[in-house]
Amino acid sequence: MNNSAKNDYPPGLIRADDLEHLLKALGAGGFRIQAPVIRDQSIVIDEIKSAGELPAGWTDEQNRGHYRIKRRSDNAYFGYVVGPYSWKKFLFPPSTAILEAKRTGNGFQVSAAAETVSPTAFFGIRPCDLRALQILDRVLIGSEYRDPIYQKRREQILIVAVNCTEPGGNCFCTSMESGPGAAEGYDIVLTEMIDAGQHNFLAQAGTERGNLILQQVPSEKATSDALKSAAEAVQMAARKISKKIDTADIKEMLYANAEHPRWEDVAKQCLSCANCTLVCPTCFCANIDDYTDLTGETATRVRRWDSCFTLDHSYIHGGSIRSSVRARYRQWLTHKLAAWHDQFGSSGCVGCGRCITWCPSGIDITEEVAAIRSGTVKAKAI
């Protein structure tokens, strides 16, 4: 998990046709490869064996409560942004056994749930999602208690990041300083460049093991022109991003506005469906359920994703603490953008825009923050 970037590895230029060799080198290195693929009309993350399975030539159109995949005019491998899945599902699975208990004579014995974890390459992870992993690291293995499930999986991950050269309609990574270029935390970072019939990747190792993988891939030395155009592509992407959150004093601003009337407004639109928390790459709330098999001889404790939008989330004997949607939306947004700083030393938001895209009623977190900050109370059509 030592992913600290070192930029003293020489950058290379890989022809798009040779991307297959990178996948082969990862496979030969013993890594299973998780990468973007198309399933059910959206770009999700699943295991692939060859570059042919990547959604080459596809893009995604994202807006408030809107997602469509479309054909591109070129054959770009990474001409889209992030879909409904995030990489947290591999490290912090939606449902995992955390403990097994077996009945014995007059008692029971406990053991850690057995699981085998194979080395896995996160192929094509975007800078915002890479930042999300660093945030989850702080939450789950960065303090006094360390989650062994996350830790074990995290240690097996190799990161092949892809810089964003074409942001989506809901992206605001520039506000959260998490993109569109990856700054650190990768083993390899790629920048895709399509220009005048040339289709190449600028490849940069961030770690020694990344460097060893890249050495097995045919490449040529990157010219200073290539370096320049890769950097420009990322800068261009940053300029294309239109959504933003003003993060100046955001913690104090949100704490001071716990009773802002806007919470009431957004609660009228919010269905409390929990979609935003499930697509969020950093939301970590989880419940623990208990199951016994039919014989009653074994009992399993299962950790399952939960959401602060459910009434059960804050239930204590006598009722739920946050019984109104207003309080639950306020909890989610204030936690993500404010309390997270106090708890884990950074924002909990990476600006990926998933919560905006997958909100069935099209609530836009950037708009909510702006409204609260400006103090204006605007009636919204549902």
Partner 1 sequence: MATTLEKIKEGLDRSQPWMPNLFRVERIRKETYDTFTFDLETSDGAGCAFQPGQFNMLYIYGVGEVPISISGDPKNSRTLVHTIRAVGTVTKNMRQLKRGDLVGVRGPFGRPWPVEDAKGHDVIIVAGGIGLAPLRPVIYHLLAHREQYGKIILHYGARTPDDILFRQELETWRARFDFDVQVTVDRSTGSWQGNVGVVTLLIPKATFDPLQTIAMVCGPEIMMRFTVLELLKRDLTEENIFLSGERNMKCGIGHCGHCQFGHLFVCNDGPVFRYSDTADLFKKREI
Binding residues for partner 1, rule: CB under 8 A, are: 98-99, 101, 103, 106-110, 112, 139-140, 143-148, 151, 255, 258-259, 284-288, 290-292, 296, 299, 301, 306, 308, 313-317, 321-324, 326-327, 331, 335, 338-339, 342-343
CB-wise, 40 or 259, nearer to partner 1?
Answer: 259
Q: For the CB of residue 269, give the shortest distance to partner 1 in the complex, in Å.
A: 18
CB-wise, 58 or 329, nearer to partner 1?
Answer: 329
By the 8 A CB rule, do 85 and 127 touch? no
CB-wise, 20 or 249, nearer to partner 1?
Answer: 249
Which has the closest alpha carbon to 58: 33, 38, 86?
38
Q: For the CB of residue 333, give the shortest distance to partner 1 in the complex, in Å.
A: 13
Dihedral over Cα of 88, 340, 177, 266: its sign: positive
CB-wise, 52 or 345, nearer to partner 1?
Answer: 345
CB-wise, 151 or 346, nearer to partner 1?
Answer: 151
Q: For the CB of residue 250, give the shortest distance to partner 1 in the complex, in Å.
A: 13
Collapsed DSSP state (helix, strand, coil) of residue 109: strand
By the 8 A CB rule, do 168 and 62 touch? yes
CB-wise, 30 or 345, nearer to partner 1?
Answer: 345
By the 8 A CB rule, do 127 and 180 touch? yes
Q: For the CB of residue 42, give the shortest distance to partner 1 in the complex, in Å.
A: 27
Q: For the CB of residue 350, give the shortest distance to partner 1 in the complex, in Å.
A: 18
User: What would the DSSP string read from start to end of 345-362?
Assistant: SS-S-----HHHHT-TT-
Question: What tokens were used for 304?
Answer: 């399952």
Q: What is the DSSP letter of 335?
A: I
By the 8 A CB rule, do 21 and 218 touch? yes
* Euclidean distance between CA atoms 310 and 276, whole angstroms: 12
Q: For the CB of residue 127, give the shortest distance to partner 1 in the complex, in Å.
A: 25
